[in-house]
Amino acid sequence: MIEITNSDYETLESKMKKTLASLGENFNAIRAGRANPHVLDKITVDYYGSQSPLNAVANIQVPEARMIVLSPWDASMLKEIEKAILSSNLGIHPTNDGKVIRLNFPILTEERRKDLVKLVKTYGEEAKVAIRNIRRENIDKMRAYNKKKEITDDLLKQYEEKVQKITDKYIADVDKACDNKDKELMEI
């Protein structure tokens, strides 16, 4: 007979926490009208033949609420950084003065805000699907043990109920994170 231990539940929760963290990273990359250096996290620059993250080739500062200033460590990287930002589809046009690159964040239009809210909902649904898949994989594993008579029907039922409670908690966390991001986006 197989024992269901707390580590089984901890492993399940750990995977669901990673899904929630990934959702948070996706939300950080969404531009909300305010200058947030995390919108640059996924941008890489060709630095002497290798792709490097933007924060590895430049100092990133937020001097004002709607502006990010990039100061490259190597002045020859200005053009490469500018090109990377333009090709990233951020919707922000960089201003290069020969020493630094400034990114001015315009106030979002109502239409753009609604598009971003749809994107938030999409990310939220993807996170929920990932959490449900984690639940399904774990329950399927225990059902296979049950078929082989390695765990009892009662133990399987208890496991399924506890896993469902954990799943419901993380689905609620996803909904809460989506609602908070929606409010942030729709705030003028």
Cα 78 from Cα 35, distance rounded (Å): 20
The CATH 3.30.1360.40 domain(s) of the chain lie at 37-104
Per-residue confidence (pLDDT) for residue 140, from 0 to 100:
94
Tokens linked to 76: 């020859």
Q: What number is the average pLDDT over the span 39-57?
A: 86
CB atoms within 10 A of CB 67: 15
pTM for this one?
A: 0.74
Report the CATH fold assignment for 37-104: Gyrase A; domain 2 (3.30.1360)
- CATH class of the domain at 6-28+109-186: mainly alpha
Reported as a single tens digit per residue, the pLDDT across 142-175 is 999 999 999 999 999 999 999 999 999 999 999 9
Please give the pLDDT value at position 48: 83
Q: Which two tokens stand for residue 104?
A: 């001015």
- Tokens standing for residue 155: 């133990």
pLDDT of residue 112: 81
Judged by DSSP in three states, 95 sits in strand
Q: Taking residues 102-111, what's their average pLDDT?
A: 84
pLDDT at 179: 95
Which pLDDT does position 163 carry in this prediction? 95
Of the candidate ranges 6-10, 26-30, 121-125, 179-183, the one whose mean pLDDT is the lowest: 26-30
Are 20 and 177 within 8 A, CB to CB? yes
Q: Is the pLDDT of residue 91 over 80?
A: no
pLDDT above 90 coverage of the chain, percent: 43
Determine the pLDDT at residue 56. Answer: 87
> Tell me, what amino acid is at 83?
K
Average pLDDT on 70-82 reads 89
- Residue 33 has what pLDDT? 65
Asked whether the beta carbons of 12 and 138 are under 8 A apart, the reply is yes
Average pLDDT, the chain: 88
51 pLDDT more than 80: yes
- CA–CA gap between residue 182 and residue 120 (Å, rounded): 7
Q: What is the pLDDT of residue 116?
A: 87
State the pLDDT at residue 111. 86
